[in-house]
Amino acid sequence: MENFDITNLTAHEILEKKLDTALVCKKLKEHISQVDNKVKAYISFEDTQKNGLPIAIKDNICVKGELTTCASKILQGFRPPYNATVIEKLAKANIIPFGKVNMDEFAFGSSCENSCYFPTHNPWDLERVPGGSSGGSAAAVASGLAIWALGSDTGGSIRQPASFCGVVGLKPTYGRVSRFGLIAFASSLDQIGPITKDVADAALLLNVISGYDPNDSTSANIAVEDFTKSLVNNVEGIRIGIPKEYFLPGIDTEVKKNIFEAIELLRKKGAIIKDINLPHTEYAVEIYYIIATAEASSNLGRFDGVRFGKQAEGKSMIEMVANTRGLGFGNEVKRRIFLGTFVLSHGYYDAYYKNALKARTLVKNDFDKAFDEVDCIITPTSPTPAFRIGEKLNDPLSMYLSDICTINVNLAGIPAMSLPCGFTKQGLPIGLQIMAKAFNEEVIFKTAYSYEQSTTWHKQKPKIE
Ligand code: GLN
């Protein structure tokens, strides 16, 4: 029993084998002390003795009394007086927060480089980014520094890092998981979700964190299925749509090749493959960066140096607030607040914000139409594998474009999963994205589990030297 390998261990194995969770935590700590100086996934640990199944938590999810900083200077030293609903639900299932993991500041980014602490490294190639914004969560799971993790996804922040790090990441349907205690980025898009080593763990974790919460007015009062019931190896008759708009020349050829091989495998297993259209896909990035920044500029208004975190000096109140925000926010956060304030301002509101809302409806209609014909949709998760640290840092637009395959899912409020579907010749993981209709995570689990059962990608682990 003592002889398990912590790097491969999943939560369902811990439960099935009834492993001693105190021993799991001990082994995890040892592994962290040996490897995390290279990966740099963790931001903070609390040295309390708690018993239960450990889980890594993204630093924008409130854990009572424990540092929760969104990887921002403005929240340095902030310890929330309450738990996020997901943390309460985990506690009831005897799952305990085991360290906070790195992220892009306030979840703005796709590379984990916008953290006020340090960038996290991709365990498959330490010179590359783990993706973002939940880069710490994905890198920790991929390198065995965490059994599993929670991330948040506003435009791809669970799925893109999962794809870059070769793990499973699920953005649930909007409203499936309570956002209470998730520090808000864009409230109409944010969802908390699992990042795990395999599909079964994602189902287990979604079971625990889902459900109606009176503290979140957007949480859906819909009964939660037992998602583990969908872990069946059978795709017979499942209709899978392939949207041509996601396979344009900007997509890396190795990514494309692996996705098509995965589709072929599913076809051989009995799925029905159909070409479909999602004609408004090309507007995704524009629509998202108007709506998300507008909501962010409003949500971030609460960080004024009075209510939370650090306060700067100032001769007047206005000067104090300006100094606090000037010193506390990083450059990407400032860029987004400017952009969001601009698109909401008098004279521009109609041209930008209002039009973006209309276009968002068109994107949603595309999916509604597609799901009349198919049960799920398969695309790449990201147009490229993990890029190099620093490569896109001075080119925000190219960074924004890396979200092109994931953003529309948030605009439409539907669920989607990224799961490993191969490696490039250089050994970088490639992610396959499966989308489904709102509140239809079951078909995602079924398809993903069936695919996973026929492949071994998820069993491969990075060697960190
Ligand atoms: N990368 C996207 C952004 O920068 C998405 C981030 C997220 O999902 N939180 O906004």
Using DSSP's 3-state secondary structure scheme, residue 216 falls into: coil
In angstroms, the CA 147 to CA 198 distance is 10
Could you report the per-residue pLDDT of 354-364, keeping only the tens digit for each?
Answer: 999 999 999 99
CA-to-CA separations, 385 to 9, 121, 350, 427, in angstroms, rounded: 25, 14, 37, 10
Helix residue ranges, H only, 58-193: 85-92, 135-142, 159-165
Best mutation site among 105, 110, 134 for ligand 1 pocket (most ligand atoms within 8 Å of CB): 110
> What's residue 398's pLDDT?
81
Angle at 434 between CA 419 and CA 443, to 5 degrees: 110
CA-to-CA separations, 144 to 158, 164, 172, in angstroms, rounded: 17, 15, 24
> What's residue 1's pLDDT?
54
> What's residue 2's pLDDT?
66
> What's residue 324's pLDDT?
96
E strand map for 226-360:
239-243, 272-276
In angstroms, the CA 301 to CA 303 distance is 6
**b/e per residue, 318-347, with b = 16+ CB within 10 A?**
eebbebbbeebbbebbeebbebbbbbbeee
Q: Is 58 an active-site residue?
A: yes
Measured from CB, residues less than 6 Å from any atom of ligand 1 are: 107-110, 133, 153-157, 185, 292, 403
**Exposed (0-12), middle (13-18) or buried (19+): which is 31, by Cβ within 10 Å?**
middle
In angstroms, the CA 238 to CA 229 distance is 16
Of the residues 72, 157, 163, 402, only one is catalytic, namely 157
Question: What are the residues whose beta carbons fall under 8 Å from the beta carbon of 300, sequence distance 6 or more?
Answer: 106, 329, 333, 337
Best mutation site among 60, 108, 190, 381 for ligand 1 pocket (most ligand atoms within 8 Å of CB): 108
**Exposed (0-12), middle (13-18) or buried (19+): which is 198, by Cβ within 10 Å?**
buried
The token pair at 191 is 């969802």
Question: What are the residues whose beta carbons fall under 8 Å from the beta carbon of 253, sequence distance 6 or more?
Answer: none
> Which residue, among 86, 73, 88, 22, has the nearest Cα to 43 in the 3D structure?
73
Atom of ligand 1 nearest to the CA of 189: 8
Q: How far is the CA of 34 from the centre of ligand 1 (A)?
A: 30
In angstroms, the CA 421 to CA 264 distance is 12
Instruction: Mark residue 200 as left, alpha or beta (left: phi above 0; alpha: psi -120 to 50; beta: remaining).
Output: alpha
Could you report the per-residue pLDDT of 107-136, keeping only the tens digit for each?
Answer: 999 999 999 999 999 999 999 999 999 999
Please state the pTM of the whole predicted model: 0.97
Q: Is 133 an active-site residue?
A: yes
The token pair at 465 is 């030297």
> What's residue 310's pLDDT?
83
Question: What are the residues whose beta carbons fall under 8 Å from the beta carbon of 455, sequence distance 6 or more?
Answer: 265, 420, 421
> Which residue, among 388, 409, 366, 402, has the nearest Cα to 250 in the 3D structure?
402
Q: How far is the CA of 30 from the centre of ligand 1 (A)?
A: 32
Q: How far is the CA of 16 from the centre of ligand 1 (A)?
A: 35
Low-confidence ranges of the chain (pLDDT < 70): 1-2, 47-49
The token pair at 179 is 């956002």
In angstroms, the CA 7 to CA 3 distance is 12
C-beta separation of 159 from 406 below 8 A? yes
The token pair at 140 is 């920790």
Q: Is 446 an active-site residue?
A: no
Q: What is the dihedral of CA 287, 384, 258, 131, to 10 degrees?
A: -90
